Structure 1
């Protein structure tokens, strides 16, 4: 096999700096620039990628995991995979926003994103100040020309996004460095637990793992090499609730979304969520919400 490069002859190299290999995959999804009317109202949804949402004109009221954020021109929002969010005008008028979904396989960068507790970065913030020009550059690149995106545009988009990530890393790396190692490790572990809990919800919804399966929080703890008690303690310290309560909240949300669709019967919803029968689903739903599925649906009609 021929080597990728030939080493220098010994004694001929006077100085040398070895640069680590760069192996990073970046995927960009659903990138768009959109101007909408004051009647704009986008329903609750979630997606498996990260999202940058940047308002250029007007005001957007973004609700993320039941918390509302008023986003004005120049404000930036960072959404994480699984964040449940909806959008409408913030003042009843038209607004323009730029949106980009992405995933990246750089573990250190993903670790940084998972540790950020912020959702909204106002135009006065250091983050928006550093990232705003790059986001404007992305808008310019993505809207230049017409028709399908060219290879040149695609490469420029990826280049601009990587520069965007570099700026984000520089802004927050100092903050992360100032955190104690113990704090960092605890937050990192809690996010790993949450990610696996979200995966469990999606698996149940796809009927890959039925709800009454024995797989659960104890198995997640075992996979991470920690005791169940430590799993519960770390998760509660970071997120303020137990893993089981978090899992129940996620399942309740999925159930409510389906119950709002009146084309589906309660029996069908029970099956979609992986329950063995409608009675089991009804008991669980009432335990979570204080009312039966039918009572919840009647109250929404």
Structure 2
């Protein structure tokens, strides 16, 4: 089955749900031929995933979930998640990355207050979106058709396409929240600290893909900020320094390699950017309470539900 490919970023596109504004940072689609290592999004960031075909697994919130055609899930602020594809039937995924930007007076009043003419259902959609940092289930709202129309608009770019994209994105968000209400969402209050959108994506992509080489100086140069401003920005988004965040990214990738490959400890150590196996082993044991060898041979209890 063929699916339309999308690659649209550096957008200036915002959706309004009452007083909640969703800044759309990128829209992408494609096949997962390689698994996505464990990572988490910064405060105010929400990533919507829809799987129209293929199979795999999602590991999130310490649990494992099967992914199959029709799987829909949201990974919001602070949710550790890892996506593992089935090489014999690679997943195709539509992915939309939002930054939540509520505006107005105090947080509660601007989202849930009755002033300004917002309808009750729009306020409820905004509340459920913000307060659901993680949800997974089978789509019951026929969103595949909307994603396909969205892809067609993006790829053809006919006159008026931006207006139609906005309409379809609103339909997708409403469909997502309707899925929540049918499937008992897990509700948590998500903090809403924001950073300039392009800079936030740069930080997240560097941590996810360039953790072996990025430094605070090179990241500052990319962001167009001073080193001190960059340090403050990273700490604001993650609650830790860049050094701590990069160490976490290395160790998370090492844990994935220990679980999914036959690489030696030395090879994994080198692959995640350590100059010595001893240093890697020391950091890994401090992080997991087990040496890499012991971690690899531990007994794993399945948590699929």
Q: Normalization by structure 2: what TM-score?
A: 0.49
Higher strand share: 2
Higher helix share: 1
Larger Rg: 1
Structure with greater contact order relative to length (CA < 8 Å, sep ≥ 6): 2
